[in-house]
Amino acid sequence: MSYEVLVDTGDNNKILGISKSFPAFESPQGNVYKLTTSYSGSIDRKSLRAVNVNTGAGTCDLEPNNQLAVTLTDLSDQALPDTSPIDGIPEIAKDTGQCKIKIQKKDGSGNDLTGAEDNDAVEIWADRAGGLSAFTVNLANGFAEVTLSAGSLLALVDISVTDPSGKMRGATARLQVK
């Protein structure tokens, strides 16, 4: 669906309004531009941000303002001790290695969101891993964790955390099983 978006380029591309049409608005007015976008998600200007702003073409893209962040730790919540000196990717031992995948919901500025309204369901994928303690979890006050167990293969494991509703941007992490 096509929408018109009023974006303040002088205030970090802040969205001032979203509508099917702003007929009386002449663009630009100072740093405020009327841009066109195609977006299929839920339209709520407070939960979206404007990206790929092109004032010359009069277009922008919209994406969820909130995001997920992923941190990998050992089972005692310490940073993973073995990190490859070549590429900096955390490592765990094959067959017996385990780590926690900590998931935190954050706002567009990177601040933790920890309210009761931040209890979204998220999906976790880890390719080439031995196993996950859960593939879907509900955030509790914006936070959740699952355990990843290493498999018997030497591999780079790509971990993805996504929001099936599309209200948040997902996150990724990489781990080496050695």
Question: Rounded distance, CA 116 to CA 139, Å?
Answer: 9
Beta bridge partner(s), residue 18? 5
Question: Rounded distance, CA 89 to CA 97, Å?
Answer: 15
Q: Work out whether the CA dihedral 67, 130, 144, 75 comes out positive or negative.
A: negative
Q: Could you give the residue range(s) of every CATH 2.60.40.10 domain in the chain? A: 67-177
pLDDT given for residue 2 in this prediction = 87
pLDDT given for residue 132 in this prediction = 93
Q: In this structure, which CATH number among 3.30.1490.190, 3.60.21.10, 2.60.40.10, 3.40.50.2300 belongs to the domain 67-177?
A: 2.60.40.10
pLDDT given for residue 81 in this prediction = 65
* Residue at token pair 């935190």: 104
Question: Rounded distance, CA 41 to CA 106, Å?
Answer: 19
Over its length of 178 residues, how does the chain's per-residue pLDDT go in tens digits? 789 999 999 988 889 999 988 888 888 899 999 999 988 776 777 778 899 999 999 999 998 888 999 999 888 888 776 677 778 888 898 999 999 999 999 988 889 999 988 999 999 999 877 899 999 999 999 999 999 999 888 888 999 999 998 888 999 999 988 8
Own/partner long-range contacts of 58-65 (Cβ < 8 Å, ≥24 apart): 58/27, 58/33, 58/34, 59/35, 60/5, 60/7, 60/13, 60/35, 60/36, 61/37, 62/5, 62/15, 62/37, 63/169, 64/163, 64/166, 64/167, 64/168, 64/169, 65/107, 65/108
pTM reported for the whole predicted model: 0.76
* 3-state secondary structure at position 47: helix
Question: Rounded distance, CA 91 to CA 174, Å?
Answer: 9
Radius of gyration of the chain (CA): 20
